[in-house]
Amino acid sequence: MKEENGNLSKLLEEAMVAFLARKEMERWRDDNHQSFESYNQMIQEHGLFSDDMGLL
């Protein structure tokens, strides 16, 4: 039965690590939201830096 259910402690630890990583990513995204918005606005107004070079 233990082999079927796995190690509960290990499962909980892995779930907690995944949860904390997801929370950290959400916090990073929220902290940097204004920067992304500002960059996107600049791109809409002026285009990409590579537009003049014909790279993309």
More confident residue, 1 or 3: 3
What pLDDT does 48 receive? Answer: 86
What pLDDT does 27 receive? Answer: 98
Residues 6-51: tens digit of each pLDDT: 789 999 999 999 999 999 999 999 999 999 999 999 999 988 878 8
| 3 pLDDT more than 50 | yes
> What is the residue extent of each domain of the chain?
2-52
What pLDDT does 50 receive? Answer: 80
DSSP per residue, 26-52: HHHHHHHHHHHHHHHHHHHHH--GGGG
What pLDDT does 1 receive? Answer: 45
